[in-house]
Structure 1
Amino acid sequence: MAAFYPWFWIVLIVVFAIAEGLTVQLVSIWFCVGSVAGLLTSFITRNFGVQFVVFVVVSAIALLISWSLFRDRMRPRSVATNADMVIGKEGVVLRAISPDAGGRVKVDGQDWAAKCDAPLAAGERCKVISLSGVTLTVAPCVLEKKEETVCS
């Protein structure tokens, strides 16, 4: 019965390798590595329990190592566009903005849809806080004592 266990691990290696080859993501490569460890352990001991524990531990370690190596590559990347350049700039309200209805803002000569938590009348100055799709989130600029406009 001892000859069964090496064949068992060889079959698992082949099955997990085929499963990995059929997918485009890392799905079963960790189990393939664990099966190789189980196969090597079967040459040292005939105790299937020990072989199985080695399989589980090595598979878990392989999963943790690959996850830490590829974690940053698996996250979706945001693509910077020229539109991001309007963030932090000042603009002029073209169509009044209220908290429940958006309006229009002109920033750097371009007309944008905009929203704001505070009401803004047409002609008021505002500062671009963020960009979501094609809609700017703006904040009002306040008037200082010397009649200078300061954006917060």
Structure 2
Amino acid sequence: MEGWILWLIAAGILLVVEMFALTFYLLWLCIGSVAAALVSFLFPDAIILQVVVGSAVALVLTVFTKPLAAKLRGSRGFRDTGVEIVGRQGIVVEAIVPGRYGQVKVGGDTWSATSAQALGKDEAVMVIRRGNTIIEVERWGDGY
């Protein structure tokens, strides 16, 4: 199989995984793979050049878009709804055992959640911390 086809397959896989992760880091690797595919198409025997070009493109995109993303998030009109979730009350949809994930409904959204406490279904909880896609909760009323 041609090398450029393998690079495009890798780019496609990275793009699909990025759609689920929403981090943009895999998107930059995807674009790097596309650049490597182009080099592979033009210079099929230069494998090291393909890897170097793909890596350089991904690295440059990662380094230079980080400040841009921070600027966009800080711009007027941008609203990260996940930040507002801390301190809100929710209901346990799927029981949470310490060290394992459960699910909590906060407002109209359902989140994967962890807790230091064992929490049963339909218990009221408060969000105390938020990661990218996972929240940490405590039983409602414990110190509130």
Instruction: Classify the TM-score, shorter chain.
Output: 0.3 to 0.5
> TM-score by structure 2 length?
0.47
Q: Which has the higher contact order (CA 8 A, sep 6+)?
A: 2
* Bigger CA radius of gyration: 1
